[in-house]
Amino acid sequence: MSTTTPSDGPPPLLRVRDLAMTFPGRRRSAPVRAVDGVGFDLAAGETLGLVGESGCGKSTTGRMIVRLLEPTAGTVEYDGRPLAHLSQRAMKPLRREIQMVFQDPHSSLNPRQSVARIIADPLLVQGSPAREARRRAVELMEMVGLIPEHADRRPHEFSGGQAQRIGIARALATGPRLVVADEPVSALDVSVQAQIVNLMERLQDELGLAYLFIAHDLSVVKRVCDRVAVMYLGRIVEIGAKRHVYEAPAHPYTQALLSAVPLPDPAAERARERIPLLGDPSGPAAPPPGCTFHPRCPKAQPVCRTERPVLRPPAAAEPREVACHFPG
């Protein structure tokens, strides 16, 4: 069974296949292969966590899905409709259903506009009357836990957590079915992170949203996601149901990441074995041959240096795929 398909139910809301993004190098430097053959499915109402170190390509993947970046190769289908190469006019109605929440809440908000105008902007772009758009913006402020009387304030008058609530309200303005959340809590304090995560979970339950939740914090991903995809140097190296990935990680990179997540029990934290990663990650401009993880992998064998592994199930009964020659 392929875990790029989350279930045997209806067709997925989002289908990504062989997605790639290559940025041209500066001057005489080599092109940068930021994303290299990423594929997964996302069902309606589901949350898929996309995790990995900084620079692995997860944010670039999210931006290609919402068409902020045009893929070099591969396909993105939303509700059975291919998105690649659609004109801006053809994309306009689909943008009602696909929205994005950005990492840094303040830098993603126009400092010159009021909060009500920021939230109403997507509706105005879609042709809603100004009065109706403002009324909806005030409703959304209340929905995300902001005081409607603050509708005419500017973003700098709000804390980081409040600013992210504004960003979430803006993403919800058009009634989307899919939200790409790019590191939505990484810039916030831990206590505020929990509040935003609670808000996103509540909104998902109330509105039936599907989330692509991009993050590097595995503790947050464990809480909010149904399935997890682990990226390394532009490729997914493990993807599957959350329980399988967290309780029995099969890829050495996943194992190393999870071994570094702090445990709430001090005794268990002291007793467990951490798996060190050897050296620094290679740059996407010059990835190593074979398995891109092999220079840092404690299990690397000669075959890892010459043959690139592909995603495949380690066991027929497991809803999970691993790109490793020696999984487990």
pLDDT 10s digits, 56-84? 999 999 999 999 999 999 999 999 999 98
**Percent of the chain topping pLDDT 90:** 71
- Percent of the chain's residues with pLDDT above 70: 93
Distance between CA atoms of residues 232 and 242, nearest Å: 18
Q: Judge whether 310 and 323 are in contact, CB under 8 Å.
A: yes
Residue 28 and residue 112: Cα distance in Å, rounded? 40
Contact 99, 68 (CB under 8 A): no
Strand pairing category for 73-78 and 81-82: antiparallel
Strand partners, 241: 227
Q: Given the DSSP bridges, would you call strands 227-232 and 235-241 parallel, antiparallel or unpaired?
A: antiparallel
CB-based contact 64:35 (threshold 8 Å): yes
- Beta strands of the chain (E only): which ranges? 14-23, 32-42, 47-51, 73-78, 81-82, 98-101, 178-182, 210-215, 227-232, 235-241, 320-322
Per-residue burial over 68-95, b if 16 or more Cβ lie within 10 Å, else e, is ebebbebebbbeeeebeeeeeeeeeebb
* pTM for this prediction: 0.92
Can you say whether the dihedral through the CA atoms of 159, 165, 170, 173 is positive or negative?
A: negative
| Tens digit of each residue's pLDDT (9 = 90 or more) over 208-261 | 999 999 998 888 999 999 999 999 999 999 999 999 999 999 999 999 999 888
Both tokens assigned to 121: 């902007």
CA distance 282 to 302: 18
Report the CATH fold assignment for 14-97+176-322.
Answer: Rossmann fold (3.40.50)
Q: Could you read off the pLDDT of 93-150 as tens digits, one per residue?
A: 899 999 999 998 889 999 999 999 999 999 999 999 999 999 999 999 999 999 999 9
Predicted pLDDT of residue 260: 82
Which two structure tokens, joined as six digits, stand for 309?
Answer: 């592994």
Can you tell me whether residue 270 is helix, strand or coil?
A: helix
Is residue 220 within 8 A of residue 50, CB to CB? The reply is no
